[in-house]
Every structure is written in structure tokens, then in C-alpha cells.
Structure 1
Amino acid sequence: MTCFDFSTYNHICQYLNIDVDSTGTIEVSCTANSSVSIAIGPSGNTGGFSPRKLKQTSGSDLMNYNLYTTSARTTIWGDGTQGTSTVNQLVRKQSPSNLTVYGTVPASQDVYVGLYTDSLVVTINY
């Protein structure tokens, strides 16, 4: 999965109730035509999905975010537990399949300035 960059979370946006959206990509390749199921694990910072949490690298602040299966951002991309869904995809032999992951940092979060990160496990079952 490519790294997500939610860019800058602006405190002005916080008061204007503007979410920060971003996208990333998961590329899957197979040596034969295969149907795969792709799961994205819970937040490495909290172990949960709803919401996942970004942690400040130089402090202890946590910022809510989540990853979704479509641009409508209504279904959380997870491992099929806790109300989340996995994504199923047909991958053609020797033709990489790119899946878009849709992310959102919700507005109205009062957090300190800094760099925030999370680590996730992506599992591909075939």
C-alpha cells in the first residue's frame, strides 16, 4: 500500500467543519488468475477500527481517521470484523490490479501541531 498523506490538518478547517480526504493505492499481482480478498487491519496505535487513530510522533495526542472502500466513504475497509468490510478483487495473471483506498481525517479535532502516524497490516487472501 502506498503511504497516505493527509497533508496538513488545518485548525481553521476544524472550525469550518471541513474533513481532510486523501487516497492511497494497493497493488496486487498474481502468477495466475485469482480472486483475492484484501483486508486492512485495525489501527496499530489503538487496535480499533472505528475510528482508527493517528498518533503524534513527538507526543501523545491522537487524531481520528479512517479508510474506506469507496469514494462515498461509508464502508470502513477492515478485516470483516467490528462492522468493517474487506474488498474482493479478480486479479488477472501477470497484470497488476490497483485498488484505491479512500481516507478521511474528520474535522473538529483539537490536536497539537506535529507529525501523526499509524501502522497498518494489509492481508491478501487468495
Structure 2
Amino acid sequence: MSRFSLNLLGVFLFCLFFTVEAYAAADCNFQTVTDVNFGSYDVLSGLNNDSTGSLTVSCSGQTWTTVTTSIGASPNSGGFNPRQMLQASGTDLLNYNLYTNSTRTTIWGDGTQGTSTVTTSIHKNHPWNGTIYGRIPPGLNVGIGTYSEALVVTINF
């Protein structure tokens, strides 16, 4: 083997074992959030008052990103079960809750106090659309008025 061939082989072996890796950090954010609007609540009805809201999360950077979505406790009740909306012109509280599933059996929270979070993998070219399932139980004795509550929704990735 000539001296030129050996030097070339040395360069080739160096390149073979020298690799560079780089990963782009994921960046995720809410594209849209739609409120859970229950409409009118009939205190005399024996039926649940169900409604839905939605959120859309998108990510960039990595091809796939695992995202966990949590919804905070009720500022009015201090917990998750029940959450409570406050009457705008009074002091009445209206019990309700938010769920991860359409059967409304799993409370969407932060993973504490018997609640669950939602974890999904999001592709950088395909946002995730999540549904928030809400329910006000029947038989609550509350005054006439508008009720509302603001909650913190968090995404961890």
C-alpha cells in the first residue's frame, strides 16, 4: 500500500468515528382555546347540563413531542371536586366539573386529588385538538345570574 493510500485510509477512519449530533428543542403553545359554555341552567331540571370546550396545541422543533396538559384547581372552591363558578352579581356558587372523556368519569386536573392529566404525542406538522367535557349536575339551588370562573391550563413538554 502506498503512503498516499494509508493517509487517505486514516482520514476515512477518522471521519467514520467522528459524528456530530444536534437536536432542536421542542416549542409548544396553544393555538386556540374555546370556553366551556353551559348556556342556561334550569334549577328544576333533573338532568345534567353538559357542554364541551376545546383546545389546540401545536409544537415545532422535534418531529414528535410528548405533551401533558393539565387544568388547575378551582379558585372558588380551592379544589377539583367540585369546581365552582361564582355568580357575577352575588355570592352564589355553581358546582361543575371538567372531564377528559365524553362519559365524564375522569376529572381533568393536575394529577392530584383523584384527577388525571392528558398526555399525547404531537407531530410538528399536525396540531393536537383536545375536547374538554364539562358538566353541571342537576338539582343545585342557585340564584339567577351569570356564573363564571377562569382556570389555568398548563402544557408541559
Question: Would you call these one fold, judging by a TM-score over 0.5?
Answer: yes
Task: State the structure with bigger RCO (CA 8 A, min sep 6), 1 or 2.
Answer: 1
How far apart, in 2, do the equivalents of 1:58 and 1:24 lie? 25
Aligned to 2:56: 27
SS at match of 2:34: coil
1:39-67 alpha-carbon deviations (Å, 9 max, x no partner): 00011222210000011010000010000
How far apart, in 1, do the equivalents of 2:125 and 2:86 lie? 38
Say if 2:55 is the partner of 1:4.
no
TM-score (normalised: structure 1): 0.94
Which contiguous aligned blocks of 4+ residues in structure 1 show a shift greater than 3 angstroms? none
Say if 2:155 is the partner of 1:124.
yes
- Give the letter aligned to residue 66 of structure 1: N
Aligned to 2:143: 112
The structure with the greater share of residues assigned to helix is 2
SS at match of 2:44: helix
Aligned-pair RMSD on alpha carbons? Answer: 0.9
- The CA deviation at 1:11 is 2.3
- The CA deviation at 1:125 is 0.4
Matches within 5 A, 1:1-126: 1-13=33-45, 17-31=46-60, 32=62, 33-126=64-157
Unaligned runs of 5+ residues in structure 2 are: 1-32
Aligned length: 123
Identity of matched residues, %? 51
How far apart, in 2, do the equivalents of 1:94 and 1:45 lie? 38
TM-score (normalised: structure 2): 0.76
- The CA deviation at 1:96 is 1.3
The structure with the larger Rg is 2
SS at match of 1:11: coil
